[in-house]
Amino acid sequence: MNIIVQKYGGTSMANAKCVKNVANKVVRTKKKGNKVVVVVSAPAGMTDELVKRAKEVTEKPSGRELDMILATGEQISISLLAMAIKDLGEEAISFTSSQVGIFTDDNHNKAKIEAIETKKITEALDQNKVVIIAGFQGVTRNFEITTLGRGGSDTSAVAIGVALNASEIEIYTDVDGVYTADPRIVPNAHKISKISFEEMLEMAGSGAKVLHLRSVELAAKNHLPIHLRSSFTDTIGTYVTEEDENMEDVLVRGVAHTTNNAKITLANVPHTSQNIAYIFEEIANNNINVDVITQNYVDKDNLTISYTVSEDEFDSALELANRIGKEVKAQAVFGNEKVAKVCIIGVGMKSAAGVASRVFRCLANEGVEIDMVSTSDINISCIIRESDYQKAVIAIHNEFQL
């Protein structure tokens, strides 16, 4: 018998009516003769609310205690869904990740799943029950509660699907697929019927939060396609799957953006053989993730080095940069929280020239200044002013007639 893993996000679980709608969908899948495992997120807005409550008590909650409160949101959803399914006459049982044994490392707030115990799940499936598991949360071997990072329920679902050797992973959300750009920013964005893992990895990694990055990494590694679709309609959504030969026919698959970026500049750093390595070693030693890096000669002996970090880490990154700046004798250190990143993504770019020039021309025509650029085979990323990001995404979307 097929095992299908379905994941329902926060908007799909927002209130009693939504929960009943999800219960109906689950029961329909079960009645078709499938074994069904459901992974759910906390009701919409609840995780934000829990973060807010923690921050009302303290500026800097410890990772452990933050996970303790954040993991509670998903526990509400699993029990409500189990009740709603039972009401429809099917057997269902809810489990937290500690009950199942979804083991993670001890990196609080961004833990990685290391192993999943399947015994409890398969026993319940064999008893003809729908199994409902709390997404986003995990447990360490030491029984500490962890969470996987915001949006992490997608990753829980894919990891559970891999562990159970599921025949299908369906991720249900509030849009009916992956679009060529965030439909909230570009109203005429259109739904992509099939996208390669590689492109989806770039989209998710570049801010398209419709899928959690780790979930795509896991699906790709295990060759397990994801069907992303709407919980409010029955239409076919987007298949995230292996690349096929037709996919390269499309030059640009989509545009993604993030506004959660900040830029730090160390100006006029004496260029010695040690300085650059030292700067980035110190940043790494302090666990700060750097995204785009540029370095330019100011004159033959001095360099200006800029890098972007996540806005959440801006304060600590700037404090660190000020310290490093003194050590490497930088003339000045600047920080700018108001930058955005716009990324143009497509496997078709591998074999085509001139995409970057079209992007730069189109942004220039809109009066958008490009501050930094980084490129890979299938991604061109531009750092721009935060206030320009909507204009930039729309212009690029039009330029490539997405």
Chain residues that interact with ligand ASP, rule: CB under 6 A:
9-10, 41-42, 47, 73, 135-136, 150-153
Q: How far is the CB of 229 from ligand ASP (least distance, A)?
A: 16
Distance CA 24, CA 65 (A): 35
DSSP per-residue letters across 316-359:
HHHHHHHHHHHHTT-SEEEEEEEEEEEEEE-GGGGG-S-HHHHH
Output the six-digit token pair for 265: 């500049």
Output the six-digit token pair for 204: 């998710």
Residues 156-185: x where in contact with ligand ADP by CB under 6 A, - otherwise, as a string = -----------------xxx--xx-xxxx-
Q: Which helix (H) or strand (E) covers residue 297, if one does?
A: strand 290-297
Q: Which of residues 19-58 bind ligand ADP (CB under 6 A)?
A: 41
Q: How far is the CB of 186 from ligand ADP (least distance, A)?
A: 9
3-state SS, residue 375: strand
Residue 180: DSSP 8-state:
S
Q: How far is the CB of 260 from ligand ADP (least distance, A)?
A: 13
Nearer to ligand ADP, 9 or 325 (CB): 9
**Whether the Cβ atoms of residue 25 and residue 229 lie closer than 8 Å to each other:** no
Q: Tokens 């995404």 sit at which residue?
A: 393
Nearer to Mg ion, 131 or 211 (CB): 211
Nearer to ligand ASP, 155 or 304 (CB): 155
3-state SS, residue 53: helix
**Residue 111, interface with ligand ADP (CB under 6 A)?**
no
Output the six-digit token pair for 67: 């996970």
Residue 291: DSSP 8-state:
E
- For residue 392, the one-letter residue type is A
Q: How far is the CB of 247 from ligand ADP (least distance, A)?
A: 16
Q: Which of 328, 332, 340 is nearest to 280 (CA)?
A: 328
Distance CA 108, CA 148 (A): 8
Tell me how far apart the terminal alpha carbons of the chain are, to the nearest angstrom. Answer: 40
Q: How far is the CB of 318 from ligand ADP (least distance, A)?
A: 28
**Residue 325, interface with Mg ion (CB under 5 A)?**
no
Distance CA 75, CA 78 (A): 5
Q: Which does 42 bind (CB under 5 to 8 A by kind): ligand ADP, Mg ion, ligand ASP, none?
A: ligand ASP
Q: How far is the CB of 272 from ligand ASP (least distance, A)?
A: 43
Q: Which does 97 bind (CB under 5 to 8 A by kind): ligand ASP, ligand ADP, Mg ion, none?
A: none
- For residue 259, the one-letter residue type is T
Q: Which of residues 106-165 bind Mg ion (CB under 5 A)?
A: 151
Q: Which does 136 bind (CB under 5 to 8 A by kind): ligand ASP, Mg ion, ligand ADP, none?
A: ligand ASP
Q: How far is the CB of 282 from ligand ASP (least distance, A)?
A: 31
Q: Which does 184 bind (CB under 5 to 8 A by kind): ligand ASP, ligand ADP, Mg ion, none?
A: ligand ADP
Distance CA 228, CA 11 (A): 14
Residues 121-160: x where in contact with ligand ADP by CB under 6 A, - otherwise, as a string = ------------------------------x---------
Distance CA 314, CA 347 (A): 32
Residues at the site binding Mg ion, with contacts judged by CB under 5 A: 9, 151
Residues at the site binding ligand ADP, with contacts judged by CB under 6 A: 9-12, 41, 151, 173-175, 178-179, 181-184, 208-210, 254
